[in-house]
Amino acid sequence: MRDEWFGNSQEGIEGIQAHLRKQGLLREVQPTEFLQGLTLLYSLEKRQQDLKAGKTGKQITGVTAKREAVLSLPVDAFQKWKQPLMQGYWKAAKFLRQ
């Protein structure tokens, strides 16, 4: 996780932080905020799957970024949503600059 955020020059990994900092408006994005964004995307995906499966009421996963949801985020969800979230941050920064 540390290498994902800060990068690792020995392994040629550009960190998420370094990528976001290239955009002035994104310099202050913190790792916890990024993880909360990932968790929101993941829980939204799970909710959509539940609705598609015909679940109702409390069976449907809620969209959340609470601490327990962030801590239970699976690695595969992190890998799946990392790029789309970074692109979303960039698009939001571009929108705000305009």
Q: pLDDT for 21-35, tens place per residue? A: 999 999 999 999 999
Model-wide pTM > 0.85: yes
Question: H helices of the chain, where?
Answer: 2-6, 16-21, 31-52, 67-71, 75-97
Mean pLDDT of the chain: 94
CA 42 from centre of chain: 8
Per-residue pLDDT, 46: 97
Residue 12 has pLDDT above 90, yes or no: no
Residue 11 has pLDDT above 90, yes or no: no
Where does the pLDDT of residue 91 fall: very low under 50, low under 70, confident under 90, or very high at 90 and above? very high
Q: Which long-range contacts (CB under 8 A, 24 or more apart) does 24-28 make?
A: 24/93, 25/93, 25/96, 25/97, 26/89, 26/90, 26/93
